Amino acid sequence: MSSVLLQDLTPVLSLTISSLGARTARIRHCFRDCPREDLAMPTPVEQWVNQVAQVTRPKNISWCDGSAAEYQRLIQEMLATGTLIELNQKEYPGCYLHRSDPSDVARTEHLTFVCTSKQEDAGPNNNWMPPAEAKEKVGALFSGAMKDRTMYVVPYIMGPVNSPYSQIGVEITDSPYVAVNMRIMTRMGKAALDRLGASDNYVKGLHSLGDLSPERRFILHFPEERLIWSIGSGYGGNALLGKKCFALRLGSAMAREEGWLAEHMLILGIEEPSGRTTYVAAAFPSACGKTNMAMLVPPASQKGYKVWTVGEDIAWMNVGADGRLWAINPEAGFFGVAPGTNLHTNPNVMATIRQNTIFTNVALTPHDTPYWEGLDGPPPHEALDWQGKPWTPDSVTKAAHPNSRFTTPASQCPSMSAEWENPQGVPISAMLFGGRRANLIPLVYQSFNWQHGVFLGATMASETTAAATGKVGVVRRDPMAMLPFCGYNMGDYFGHWLRMGQRLSQPPQIFRVNWFRMTSEGKYLWPGFGENLRVLRWVLARVHGEVGAAETPIGYLPHPTGIDVTGLDVSPEALKELFAVDRPGWMEAVAGQQEFFTKFGDHLPKEIWQESEALARRLQA
């Protein structure tokens, strides 16, 4: 058939589809390489889109091709409806502000479910609903949900376009804000559909803003069907389904089946003055410093060091033929925390977000520039706060929401590694687990071996942050920074980590870090940010067998001279505190850990209990 004929057939095709029952498949941008011999037969994705359209009844359907022209069109439409506000195009070209519904500003973990046939497969770490019940209850909310709205079909690739470790997803959404954010965060559009072809091997994500009511908000995962349903929220982690829902919750379940790891980790390369580059992955809970560390700028005192960014939130890791662990960043952009971001803490991201960036829930100055707490310079004399209300520095409320964010393309970041899109990924030599802990946890220490390292990850706890709704500053257990993101029973997850270690002949060395120790007056004991490179240098020296360490009950700690602190404003007393092992404090911690582990019953590997008991014995010795 000639392409002309095929194009002429398009109306017939829609008729055919509607005779199959899909009444809304009329508007459809054909951007694939026509002619296609099989165009008369809907592909699995087309069939699914038609089924969804029948239920949600959108006004029309728009297949996203990921082009710049399409992006611009969506931006213009959102400017017209007020969904976006144009920022000062001279100072922030291509940048826009979005104000979300005030009740929809963070992940809502209590409305997030893993729907497996058996409850124990979801585990005590997840909210659970039986799949049939979930479908009935939430299916009713999807019925007619897209009436008078456009349905966007967003095909995307998680991972570099040509990587064997990449995966395809398709998100159906009625939010143009989600569609443009997905273009920044993933390889979105034609490349994904081309790679998918007529295959049905993709993750389905169905998203609707619904009525944005928290009463009718659900984020549901069906790992057995590789399906996500999200309704009632437009917020990042709830609505950009490639990120936490796919890359972590479904991803972790897929990784367990297929023998890889999907982790809430940044990936960076540290280049030493000698030219040697070592790759490190680090798991810190939400709003605990991944983006900052991934883009670390060495301070002037650390001459000749460079830090290269590979990823700042998620790592997918596979066992290489060489017995090392290789990591790719499945994302293409950053969805980063705005407050606290400035030229001192993260100059690289400050350069990145000066163009083509969507800001969400930051404040707006009279010059139409974005503002948030902790930005460089004095605050503006007046501004509109994140809800669009007048604000001055005397206001008791914050100008920007504490979880206000930017969505920005990774390719714009000055510190991106030349390897960041390497289809094979980068080899990981060290993994860090770090929480936000005012007390107890030293600045850095190393595990004795892989099994003990898995235990260090499994026993992580951290103070809660504004990245999720709920109380801030409460210490909660957050193994591997994955508590909100592990899509299956976490006891089995620890077992999977242990098994992965057995397959690695050159496993990464595992460390705990803590940048957040505080004095009793609430002052940070450690300067953090760029100065964290001093800690990373000890990590590298350990990895490469270049420095000794002190063996303590909790692990290997640096010798007093192990970490170079010359020129830092850190008192000898502070240093002592940063590296102290508080035995009574640790004994209490062990009790808390064991209480947590008990919840996993038979699913908890015996090795984790052995490590816990061994730690208790060493502390008592």
Q: Give the number of other CB atoms < 10 A from CB of residue 106.
A: 24
Query: CA 549 to CA 565: how far, in whole Å?
Result: 17
Which residue among 46, 313, 478, 607 contacts Mn ion (CB under 5 A)?
313
- Residue 345 near which of Mn ion, ligand GTP, ligand SPV, none (CB within 5-8 Å, type-dependent): ligand GTP
Phi, psi for residue 473 in degrees, rounded to 5: 90, 10
Note the residues at the interface with ligand SPV (CB under 6 A): 107, 236-237, 243-244, 286, 313, 335, 467
Q: Is residue 64 flagged as an active site residue?
A: no
Going by C-alpha positions, the residue among 289, 263, 311, 281 that lies closest to residue 486 is 263
> Could you tell me the smallest distance in angstroms from the CB atom of residue 483 to Mn ion?
12
Cβ closer to ligand GTP: 19 or 520? 520
> What single-letter amino acid sits at 176?
P
Q: Is residue 308 within 8 Å of residue 297, measured between CB atoms?
A: no
Cβ closer to ligand SPV: 237 or 453? 237
The string of DSSP codes covering 303-339 is TT-EEEEEESS-EEEEE-TTS-EEEE---SEEEEE-T
β-sheet bridge partners, residue 318: 326
Look up residue 329 and give its two tokens: 């960043």
Judged by CB under 6 A, does residue 340 bind ligand GTP? Answer: yes
Site stretch for ligand GTP (CB under 6 A), options 1-9, 337-345, 577-585, 588-596: 337-345
β-sheet bridge partners, residue 556: 446, 551
- Residue 586 near which of ligand GTP, ligand SPV, Mn ion, none (CB within 5-8 Å, type-dependent): none
Q: Is residue 480 within 8 Å of residue 599, measured between CB atoms?
A: no
Cβ closer to ligand SPV: 154 or 498? 154
Q: Is residue 228 within 8 Å of residue 138, measured between CB atoms?
A: no
Judged by CB under 6 A, does residue 525 bind ligand GTP? Answer: no
Query: CA 503 to CA 199: how far, in whole Å?
Result: 31
- Residue 150 near which of Mn ion, ligand SPV, ligand GTP, none (CB within 5-8 Å, type-dependent): none
Q: Which of 64, 245, 288, 413 is catalytic?
A: 288
Going by C-alpha positions, the residue among 50, 40, 43 that lies closest to residue 16 is 40
Site stretch for Mn ion (CB under 5 A), options 55-63, 212-220, 279-287, 481-489: 279-287
Phi, psi for residue 202 in degrees, rounded to 5: -150, 160
- Residue 237 near which of Mn ion, ligand GTP, ligand SPV, none (CB within 5-8 Å, type-dependent): ligand SPV
Number of residues that bind Mn ion (CB under 5 A): 2
Position of minimal CB gap to ligand SPV: 237
Cβ closer to ligand GTP: 269 or 530? 530
Q: Is residue 108 within 8 Å of residue 233, measured between CB atoms?
A: yes
Query: CA 171 to CA 185: how far, in whole Å?
Result: 13
Please list every residue from 266 through 305 that binds ligand GTP, using CB under 6 A.
Answer: 284, 286-292
Site string for ligand GTP, 317-336 (x = CB under 6 A): -------------------x
Cβ closer to Mn ion: 348 or 509? 348
β-sheet bridge partners, residue 107: 468
Q: Is residue 517 within 8 Å of residue 525, measured between CB atoms?
A: yes
Residues in contact with ligand GTP by the rule CB under 6 A: 284, 286-292, 312-313, 336-337, 339-340, 345, 467, 515-516, 524, 528-529, 532
Residues in contact with Mn ion by the rule CB under 5 A: 286, 313
Catalytic residues: 288
